[in-house]
Structure 1
């Protein structure tokens, strides 16, 4: 219901805009921003789909190069043969030329829309790319609107060189009452909706001050509801006795407060984690686990041993053959050492091997690991050299992570040879 309300609200804003500008003309660019899980992508896609408008959706996370971004836009708007008109390493002028050529061949009566999700990543691409997309309508001489979706505000997004100012639309966070109503719709079939609503009220009372993310709150609700109803299943209390139910769940919610966003599994660990701390298991994306494994290996293995561990057909090399006389102390006692980004990626691609083909999202996941403080970035943001990192997790932690992906961590650690 709230998504529908936001669709209506956005439609009203767009209709108001259309009334202010000449007929058969659209606004060149629209910047939609707000916290994650506030419905930005869903609302705009629902609106464009329901109105049957021609549009292209591109995730900037998946575009490892500018050429790939151009290809996806042309493929979505003009069909499978359009991307072949681009050169091997297309520039912005190549994209504009091909777009204008295709517009002549396939004119559209309606406005074309280009939706760029996670648009803040455009700032890390070519300097002229973001200003060009903001006024693409003028460059290609077509009735096209570029919609930028982002979690950051426009003031931090605006290029220093200046650019065309897009129309700003803000998606505010859900209020506590809205979150209560949305989360209550996930009620458990074995219990009354009133009981589940009471549980959500307790959950929001604890977490609302530190977490407004709908997806994270939904995960916390699913994770802790079984503990909330445990006294009911044991026949100790009735559904109406919410005070006793609150006293039972309170310590578990306080514990979960310290690991919010890390998604610590508080229930019993499976057999592979026997003997390890429950704090050592965090739910991470598949590639993030291998990135963290690669970061740990880069931090605690000397760089000169990479050939021995990660190069196939290296031959049999004994530890004594490359052990220096002064190297008597364990690397784990000395602590993690910094490593460059290219070494991290080289180890990552080696350990992930043929399990799954890595995607362009690995760079975004490295940033996420830094945000979660599982990796520490060394040096300043404005340094000319490539960034360096340190792994910030313990041995028990990385052993637990490696077991979830069936990776023999000890086999690749220099200290355990």
Structure 2
């Protein structure tokens, strides 16, 4: 593994740790090392420095660097302070005025650089670099030519999951060198995820679980972080037959039949992160008993929430207004609208839209009382609805429905409501 990472000036033990932290990325790590040059080289490979836009990881070696998160640094003042603090210490950072400009940062950097010359290349690693396009127009072009501005041996590394073409400044700037980190293949994901095995079970048993998991989720999700979350979330269900003594660890076929329905339900929460393992178990329990546990009006509120989440707002007149007039289907359906809303997932909706649909679908007239609003809060507590707006936005709260189609169809049958007739995807 470390043969691909061997490079003059770097300790072999450190390179071994890099290989362990970046499995299946040896080729990209080796290329990054070759671009950086030897660790003790004072002069950069290019006179303007090396600028990289990378997809996933930076190299975790002990280099003189400033790690900057563009999410945390909500202002340029915080960004400048983080860089000066990392390179020159607190005294240098304290020299910044209250609202520093780019020229203030360059001036202070040049002063400090003359007092503390670089013995090796300094690196500024910027995470979520695409957020820089929301800052001052001259900030990103200046960072890409920072070595020229400050006269120092400094390299800027931009980390982004967005292609450079999507946030290149319109004013023009120095073109960075692009280093693309491709998606992991299925075999690589199998290798990486299998390393997270549960200590109570054998490596073969956990590897077979990961193989089953990828068989279900790989076509829809290839994000390593999300797959790790899904693996941790569903492993207890996979182990249930073994813990109960019904099957052996080697009986993969029976384990697959037991976990398959559970994984298909989990497909509905990919990327949403709305369930902890405890809440996911409670959600599965509720899905089998909702018609018993939910009050009458709560069922209609949930139905209205599902319709608001999966129907475009422009279709409400067609579905819920009794005297909407004649609407031609060719005008109602967009010609280029081919993607199912159920594949895209639930969309957030405001409270007033939820109540408007609720009053339309419920048979009897219902006055907007505190009981109705408390039932909405109960649905949020049960994780059947999710509040997506901030708590301080009392005038315009927004929600999102967090139940599946099978779930809402079962609820609709208990109140004799044909929800399929009101779903835009099934027209």
What is the TM-score of this pair, normalised by structure 1? Answer: 0.62
Change (3 A) 1:165 1:197: same
Which one of the candidate residues 46, 68, 74 is aligned to 1:58? 68
CA–CA distance in structure 2, aligned partners of residues 271 and 13 of structure 1: 44
The equivalent of 1:87 in structure 2 is 97
Q: CA deviation at 1:99?
A: 0.8
Do residues 10 (structure 1) and 29 (structure 2) align? yes
Cα deviations by residue, 1:283-319 (Å, 9 ceiling, x for unpaired): xxxxxxxxxxxxxxxxxxxxxxxxxxxxxxxxxxxxx
Q: CA deviation at 1:270?
A: 10
Unaligned residue ranges in structure 1 (runs of 5+): 281-332, 334-370, 378-393
The equivalent of 2:214 in structure 1 is 204
CA–CA distance in structure 2, aligned partners of residues 414 and 82 of structure 1: 45
Cα deviations by residue, 1:253-279 (Å, 9 ceiling, x for unpaired): 000001111234386649999x9779x
Q: CA deviation at 1:190?
A: 2.2
Contact 1:262 1:372 in 2 (8 A): no
The equivalent of 2:223 in structure 1 is 213
Change (3 A) 1:372 1:122: farther
Change (3 A) 1:17 1:187: closer
Q: CA deviation at 1:185?
A: 1.4
The equivalent of 2:51 in structure 1 is 30
CA–CA distance in structure 1, aligned partners of residues 130 and 245 of structure 2: 53
Higher relative contact order (CA 8 A, sep 6+): 1
Q: CA deviation at 1:30?
A: 2.1
Change (3 A) 1:276 1:255: closer
What is the TM-score of this pair, normalised by structure 2? Answer: 0.60
Do residues 115 (structure 1) and 125 (structure 2) align? yes
Which one of the candidate residues 146, 160, 171 is aligned to 1:150? 160
Unaligned residue ranges in structure 2 (runs of 5+): 1-19, 291-319, 321-343, 351-375, 398-427
Change (3 A) 1:252 1:133: same
Q: CA deviation at 1:26?
A: 4.1
Cα deviations by residue, 1:66-119 (Å, 9 ceiling, x for unpaired): 111111110110011001221111111111111111111111121111111111
Contact 2:68 2:79 in 1 (8 A): yes
SS of equivalent residue, structure 1 residue 68 = helix
The equivalent of 2:192 in structure 1 is 182
Question: In angstroms, what is the RMSD of aligned CA positions?
Answer: 3.8
Size of the aligned set, in residue pairs, is 293
Which residues in structure 2 correspond to 1:6-405 (within 5 Å)? 6=25, 9-15=28-34, 18=37, 24-27=43-46, 28-34=49-55, 38=56, 40=57, 43-44=58-59, 46-47=60-61, 49=62, 53-265=63-275, 269=279, 375=348, 395-400=377-382
Q: Which of structures 1 and 2 has the bigger CA Rg?
A: 2
Q: CA deviation at 1:201?
A: 0.2
Change (3 A) 1:413 1:111: closer
CA–CA distance in structure 1, aligned partners of residues 247 and 383 of structure 2: 38
